[in-house]
Amino acid sequence: MKRMLAAHSVEDFRALARRRLPKSIFEFVDGGAGEELTLRDNRHGFDRIRLLPRVLTDVSRPDITSSIGSETRPTPLVICPMGSCSLVWPSADIAIARAAAARGIPYTLSTMSTTGMETMARSVSGELWFQLYVLKDFDFNRQLVHRAEELGYSTLVVTVDLQAGGKREKDLRNGVSIPMRPTLRHLVDGIMHPHWAMQLVRSGGPQFENVRGFLGDTSAGLTIAARVGRNLHAGFNWSDFDRIREWWKGRLMVKGVLHAGDAARLVAAGADGIWVSNHGGRQLDGAISSIDALPAIRQAVGNDVPLVIDSGIRTGMDVIKAKARGVSVAAIGRAALFGAAAGGEAGVARVLDILLDEVTLGLTLAGVPRFQQVDSSLLA
């Protein structure tokens, strides 16, 4: 707890996570695909943006509320879908979702989460979104969508950038898989990180609960990306999207969009919002950073379509920069997971409070009273 209280940034929590987790698990969370060109560029894209603050404006009561369509929300944050979270902390999905719910932040449950959607719905009182990986079996896809609807998930997030699992070289070298297939290296790592190892043993080891029994043979010891990848629907096309749109009557957002033309066509096909994302640099290495793709997408879809962004967000100032480039709200993934790795729900709560405090201070120093007033005029 002392170390968490001494942490004052997401980067501090990243350092705590690195210290607490075995090298293979930390690299699974922190790493990207290929040479990690896109992973690095996600950060560089935010670092390059400069702001032009205003003065003599009343910022005595900074307002960080945001909006998605006609809905006003207490913060400008959403939690990204993340698979395999229980590798870092038992029931990490629930810990993150509870900390988010306490702050009015929606939590997006991944198809490949290590907590089932029924368990999550019973455990968390806040707003839940469900993210769909489109698998080869469309009957099973429909079952997942129907389960989410029955359980009261408010938004369906359809991921479209996972035609196959990315080549994540660190995972290939480290042999990270679910279920865990211990090697001598893993055993040594466990001995060097006894608290993490004991928690993993007590929890029984993570499983992909939403697709338990669907992914086939669990004895092969495939990496997570490879095991998931061989079940993905590489032929997913516009007709398939139309079918999913027919199944889901509520708000539907499409995640993994970087091309402005795709964004415009998706909105025309019935998408209620676009989630600008390169999967955190974990899929196509060399893809454009999300923050650099954002302006063209905003121009293509107009001002009224909700836009979410992820990939590379580490500070409250990143959230403000994204808003200045046209986003509605920003989604965080690794930042929340670093918090969970450092201290479960309390660690996540601390990370979220740091980010929200940074947004508040950033608005004040930029001379902008309300988050919803941030626009391109703030860009230098």
The answer to whether the CB of 128 falls within 8 A of the CB of 152 is yes
How far apart are the C-alpha atoms of 312 and 9, rounded to whole Å?
14
Q: Could you say which of 44, 146, 233, 279 is catalytic?
A: 279
Domains and CATH numbers, the chain: 2-59+66-367 (3.20.20.70)
Residue 172 has pLDDT above 90, yes or no: no
Annotated active-site residue 279? The verdict is yes
pLDDT digits (tens, 9 = 90+) for 253-295: 999 999 999 999 999 999 999 999 999 999 999 999 999 999 9
Strands (E), 88-193: 107-110, 128-133, 155-159
Q: Please tell me the predicted confidence (pLDDT) of residue 216.
A: 57
Element (H, E) at 138: helix 138-150
pLDDT digits (tens, 9 = 90+) for 88-135: 988 999 999 999 999 999 999 999 999 999 999 999 999 999 999 999
Element (H, E) at 368: none
The answer to whether the CB of 323 falls within 8 A of the CB of 202 is no
Contacts of 287 (CB under 8 A, 6+ apart): 38, 258, 278, 281
pLDDT digits (tens, 9 = 90+) for 345-360: 999 999 999 999 999 9
Q: Please tell me the predicted confidence (pLDDT) of residue 145.
A: 98
Q: Please tell me the predicted confidence (pLDDT) of residue 215.
A: 65
* pLDDT tier, 185 (very low <50, low <70, confident <90, very high otherwise): confident
Average pLDDT, stretch 332-345? 97
Q: Please tell me the predicted confidence (pLDDT) of residue 183.
A: 73
Nearest Cα to Cα of residue 342 among 9, 31, 14, 112: 14
